[in-house]
Amino acid sequence: MNPYKELKDKAYEANLKLVKHKLVIYTFGNVSASDNSKGVFAIKPSGVSYGKLKAGDMVVVDFENNVVEGKLKPSSDTKTHAILYKNFSGIGGVAHTHSTYATAWAQAVKPIPILGTTHADLLPQEVPCTKVMSDEQIKGDYEKATGSQILEVFKNISYEDVKMTLVACHGPFTWGATAEEAVYNSVMLEDLAKSVFLTLKINPQITPIKKALIQKHYNRKHGKGSYYGQK
Amino acid sequence: MNPYKELKDKAYEANLKLVKHKLVIYTFGNVSASDNSKGVFAIKPSGVSYGKLKAGDMVVVDFENNVVEGKLKPSSDTKTHAILYKNFSGIGGVAHTHSTYATAWAQAVKPIPILGTTHADLLPQEVPCTKVMSDEQIKGDYEKATGSQILEVFKNISYEDVKMTLVACHGPFTWGATAEEAVYNSVMLEDLAKSVFLTLKINPQITPIKKALIQKHYNRKHGKGSYYGQK
Amino acid sequence: MNPYKELKDKAYEANLKLVKHKLVIYTFGNVSASDNSKGVFAIKPSGVSYGKLKAGDMVVVDFENNVVEGKLKPSSDTKTHAILYKNFSGIGGVAHTHSTYATAWAQAVKPIPILGTTHADLLPQEVPCTKVMSDEQIKGDYEKATGSQILEVFKNISYEDVKMTLVACHGPFTWGATAEEAVYNSVMLEDLAKSVFLTLKINPQITPIKKALIQKHYNRKHGKGSYYGQK
Amino acid sequence: MNPYKELKDKAYEANLKLVKHKLVIYTFGNVSASDNSKGVFAIKPSGVSYGKLKAGDMVVVDFENNVVEGKLKPSSDTKTHAILYKNFSGIGGVAHTHSTYATAWAQAVKPIPILGTTHADLLPQEVPCTKVMSDEQIKGDYEKATGSQILEVFKNISYEDVKMTLVACHGPFTWGATAEEAVYNSVMLEDLAKSVFLTLKINPQITPIKKALIQKHYNRKHGKGSYYGQK
């Protein structure tokens, strides 16, 4: 049996969830799932539409971007996934979508301010946005540079607290302990992106919520003092 | 047989209606149903996704926030529900959602003005919004403070006429004679929140509708002179 | 057999189409179908939700607002329908919805300007909006006054060319040769209302399209020189 | 057997995809598929609703607008399709919709600026918009003039790179190597139109993305250096 079957199945299931949550159309977007013990991840093949995708189509790649198993070419964004796995130790999934509102914020080159408790339930600060790439970066190893732009953002932010970013002029990337969590974060990011958009249209003068409120909600769900859920 | 079976079934059915009306995603939002003769209510367990929820998972809690029956932890918003049941005598259901437009108004910390007859069919004034909590309230008994903020709003407003409020920076709470009516009010509030948002984008100078029109429509549907429906 | 069975079936089918096109929720909105040879129309009963509605529930009313057949109370908007049938000779259906964008324009008390050919395919001018009612009208025979406000608008406009209007602070009414056409006009009005909303957000300086273009498109589909469709 | 059966089937399937992607309602919109070896195309009949459409209803027309086969009248936009096939050598499909956001841009008489990589994946510049027609053009051979307005735009733009345009005051036209690709371009255009609308609402000062980024993304998917997909 294919030693990567389970990993490929996970990646496949997670890709289908993007469709279910209406975050992708045609071939846009991709999710990967990693097996950190083996130093590899399974990712959607490039340019295959979700309607025709099969679990066996997933491509297995290592963290240096070498194809380990699979007949198809991996997603054109594979290098970006590889850099995230290599640098964000312990994450198990990465998702990239062109979801409507999150992409609009990325294209606007604006971070998404934290204006409510739904946001604070998820992450304890604004959703960051990378800088616009230089011409040199674009003309060079572009997909690797996308990863570098993300790493730059997370020099001073914990990737374990903030499991998402906007890539300027492009769209959102999210991650998590599993591919399923990465997709969850993509869904929630789209929800936040729309909610904050509307909030600012209703009240352009509104300012970010209090630090105490951010901490209260974030700590209800995360860390040792958390009391949300059944744990 | 479980003496709370019927109550738990009602709460369960009402929670599923939130999903049907697309007011909640994942584990956000919760509905409870009360049995006022027994002084208890059944509420959604904390952090359980709607897809996996079963009627038997509902947790029965009294109006002082003590768990009476159930194996799971009740919703993290249970204290807020308990305060409403304790103070809004006669209500039989409470719903809390993170629905898109109502949440945006709550995050904008703005009441929803009454600009049309659909609104007046439902309630005879703007949808109120609580004050922003103080740091002390947030750091103290937060979920209880959420309830207190709501009670503060209803010092001068009848909770029987206005069965909904926005909680600043958070989202909407609605209630009613039954859990089903609480959900109905959540659905209608989301509809109003969107409708008023669009109205103000078309005509920012528009002012609230006339008192006579509010009374006409509200009284068509409520009170002894009502002539809407089959009663 | 009930002599109004066919008429009631038509009205029932048309009411269900409002649901199918997502123009109504719960009990909001109503459609009627008239038999002009008998001087009667069948209309949705008041306050019955679409999910529970049956064809036999339709109520038959004459153009003076007297119930002719049916066990239930007719829609609270029945008088408004009656006035339209009485005065707009030859129409066979009337629809009233609280559809999102059309209602927002009505609440904004603004006619919908004619900014594109989809609009001109349907009607040769802006969608009119009634005046706001006086307190006297509201406190008097309100539903009749709603009809009078509409007639006022159509003193100088042909109800055969313009089969729709916004009622200020309330929502849209549409009509047509049949109940089915009235629903068609409600669906198209909602489409126009959204389209014009977006157009003005993209370009607030845009002005109505040329008279020649209005005439070209309107006459392609209506009148003796029309060449659209299979006639 | 009908020598045009295969062509009519293609056109029929493509028309149904407009419905599936929610780009059309009722009878608005039309797709055609051409057989360039025979110099003909199959197009939707005029004014037939999508629900009742059959493959055999498609009408076969030559590039001079003469009906070659079919019992029904072709779409009222047939002349516009014919001009595009005659002048845009090698295209195999044309689609015309009244999709919400693309139509709003057309009605606003504004090209859609290129603000993100999704856009650059599809075409290397803004989506153009034709000029507003003169009264003479409107009153003359209107549908042919619509085609001429489009040709005017493509005097200085390659129709092979930019497979779409907005027709001022009207709506979008798209094309491609096949009818299926024309529909794909209509779907993607609607997505872009919404995305750019939102981006400008978030940040009205945003400017088009860098030329280097446009070239990088466009060339990833198109031309001899492309590396996207499985080719």
- The 10s digit of each residue's pLDDT in C7-22 is 999 999 999 999 999 9
Query: Residues with Cβ < 8 Å from B219, sequence gap 6 or more?
Result: B225, B226
Q: What are the φ/ψ torsions at residue D174 (nearest 5 degrees)?
A: -135, 160
Of A101, A109, A139, the CB nearest to D206: A109
Residues on chain C touching D168 (C-beta within 8 angstroms):
none
Which region among A1-15, B130-144, C16-30, D104-118 has the lowest average model confidence (pLDDT)?
Answer: C16-30
Task: Give pLDDT, residue D230.
Answer: 86
Q: Name the average pLDDT for chain B.
A: 96
In this complex, is the C-beta atom of D98 within 8 Å of any C-beta atom belonging to chain C? yes
pLDDT of residue B57: 96
Are the beta carbons of B26 and B49 closer than 8 angstroms? yes
Half-sphere exposure of B94 (CA within 13 A, CB side): 33
Selecting from C118, C203, C210 the residue whose C-beta is nearest the C-beta of D103 gives C118
> Are the C-beta atoms of A171 and A106 separated by less than 8 Å?
yes
Please say if the pLDDT value at position C215 is more than 80: yes
Query: CB neighbours (10 Å) of residue C21?
Result: 17
Q: Catalytic pick from B121, B161, B191, B218?
A: B121
CA distance A74 to A70: 9
- Cα D37 versus chain centre, distance: 21
Q: How confident is the model at residue B195 (pLDDT cuts 50, 70, 90)?
A: very high
What does the DSSP 8-state code read for residue A112?
B
DSSP string, chain D: --TTHHHHHHHHHHHHHHHHTT---TT--EEEEEETTTTEEEEPBTT--TTT--GGG-EEEETTS-EEE-SSPB-TTHHHHHHHHHHSTT--EEEE---HHHHHHHHTT--B---SHHHHHH-SSPBPBPPPPPHHHHHSSHHHHHHHHHHHHTTSS-TTT--EEEETTTEEEEEESSHHHHHHHHHHHHHHHHHHHHHHHH-TT--PPPHHHHHHHHHHHSSTT--SS--
What is the rounded CA–CA span in Å between residue D209 and residue A171?
13
Q: Which two tokens stand for residue B85?
A: 């049941």
| The model's pTM | 0.97
Q: What is the pLDDT of residue C225?
A: 83
Report percent pLDDT > 70 for chain A. 100
Question: Cβ distance C220 to C228 under 8 Å?
Answer: yes
Q: Specify the pLDDT at position A6.
A: 97
Evaluated on CA atoms C209, C211, C212, C215, the torsion sign reads: positive
Specify the 3-state DSSP secondary structure of C74.
Answer: strand
What is the spatial distance between Cα B43 and Cα C26, in angstroms, rounded to a whole number?
Answer: 25
Task: Place B133 in a pLDDT band, splitting at 50, 70 and 90.
Answer: very high
B205, pLDDT greater than 80? yes
Q: Does residue B231 carry a pLDDT above 80?
A: no
pLDDT band at A1 (very low <50, low <70, confident <90, very high): confident
Q: Which residues contact C160 (CB under 8 A, 6 or more apart)?
A: C90
The whole-chain average pLDDT of chain A stands at 96
Nearest chain C CA: its distance from D162 CA (Å)? 22
C-alpha to C-alpha distance for B97 and B100, rounded to whole angstroms = 9
On whether any CB of chain A is under 8 Å from the CB of D204, the answer is no
Q: Do C138 and B212 touch (CB under 8 A)?
A: yes
Cross-chain CB nearest to B203 (options C26, C46, C108): C108
B51-63 pLDDT per residue, tens? 899 999 999 999 9
Rounded to the nearest integer, the mean pLDDT of chain C is: 96
Catalytic residue among A9, A35, A62, A121: A121
CB contact under 8 A, C201 and B196: no
| Residue pointed to by tokens 């049907």 | B20
| Entry field: residues in chain D | 231
Q: Tell me the shortest Cα–Cα distance from D186 to chain C, in angstroms.
A: 17
What residues form DSSP beta bridges with D166?
A: D129, D172
Q: In whole angstroms, how large is the CA radius of gyration of chain D?
A: 17
Whether residue B121 lies in the annotated active site: yes
Summarize pLDDT for A134-151 with one digit per residue, the tens. Answer: 999 999 999 999 999 999
Per-residue pLDDT tens over the stretch B67-97? 999 999 999 999 999 999 999 999 999 999 9
Q: Measured over all CA atoms, what is the biggest interatomic distance in chain D, rounded to whole angstroms? A: 59
Q: In what order do the strands lie in the sheet with B40-43?
A: B67-69, B59-62, B40-43, B30-35, B93-96, B171-176, B164-167
Task: Write down the residue that tokens 């996704």 correspond to.
Answer: B49
Q: Which residue, B69, B61, B62, B63, is CA-closest to B83?
A: B63
How do beta strands C30-35 and C93-96 pair? antiparallel
Of B109, C163, B66, give the one whose Cα is nearest residue A202.
B109
Catalytic residue among D121, D141, D161, D218: D121
Determine what percent of chain B is predicted with pLDDT higher than 90: 90
What is the token pair recorded at D222? 């198109």
Q: What pLDDT is recorded for position D26?
A: 87
**pLDDT tens by residue, chain D, 231 residues:** 899 999 999 999 999 999 999 998 888 899 999 999 999 999 999 999 888 999 999 999 999 999 999 999 999 999 999 999 999 999 999 999 999 999 999 999 999 999 999 999 999 999 999 999 999 999 999 999 999 999 999 999 999 999 999 999 999 999 999 999 999 999 999 999 999 999 999 999 999 999 999 999 999 989 888 888 887
Per-residue model confidence (pLDDT) at position B227? 86
> Apex CA C97: angle with CA C95 and CA C102, to 5°?
115
Task: Note whether D163 and D90 are within 8 A (CB).
Answer: no
Q: Respond yes or no: is residue B228 known to be catalytic.
A: yes
Among partner residues D25, D107, D142, which is closest to C115 by beta-carbon distance?
D107
Q: How far C117 CA lies from chain D's nearest CA (Å)?
A: 5
> Cβ atoms within 10 A of the Cβ of D227, count?
11
CA distance C115 to C165: 17
As a whole number of angstroms, the distance between CA D26 and CA D220 comes to 38
- d(CA B32, CA B34) in angstroms, rounded, equals 7
Touch C-A: 3+ C-beta pairs under 8 A? no
Task: Return the pLDDT at A70.
Answer: 96
Residue D53 identity: L
D135 at C interface, C-beta within 8 A:
yes
Q: Do the beta carbons of residue D176 and residue D163 sit within 8 Å?
A: yes
Beta bridge partner(s), residue B175: B94
Predicted confidence at residue B230, as pLDDT, reads 86
- pLDDT (tens digit, 9 = 90+) per residue, B31-43? 999 999 999 999 9
pLDDT band at C51 (very low <50, low <70, confident <90, very high): confident
Q: How confident is the model at residue C26 (pLDDT cuts 50, 70, 90)?
A: confident
Tell how far CA B116 is from the center of its chain: 21
| A25-54: average pLDDT | 94
Per-residue pLDDT tens over the stretch B158-167: 999 999 999 9
Selected for mutation to probe chain D from C198, C203, C210, C211 (highest D CB count within 10 Å) is: C198
End-to-end distance of chain B based on CA atoms, in angstroms? Answer: 36
In this predicted model, what pLDDT tens digit does every residue of A144-192 receive, in sequence order? 999 999 999 999 999 999 999 999 999 999 999 999 999 999 999 999 9
Determine the Cα angle at B156 with ends B152 and B158, to 5°. 100
DSSP A199: H
Question: Does the beta-carbon distance from A197 to D198 stay under 8 Å?
Answer: yes
Label residue B147 by pLDDT band (50, 70, 90).
very high
Comparing C-alpha atoms, which of A175, A187, A126, A117 is closest to residue B29?
A117
C142 to chain B: which residues are within 8 Å by CB? 216
Chain B residues with CB-CB distance to A115 below 8 A:
107-108, 169
**Upper half-sphere CA count for residue B69 (Cβ side, 13 Å):** 16
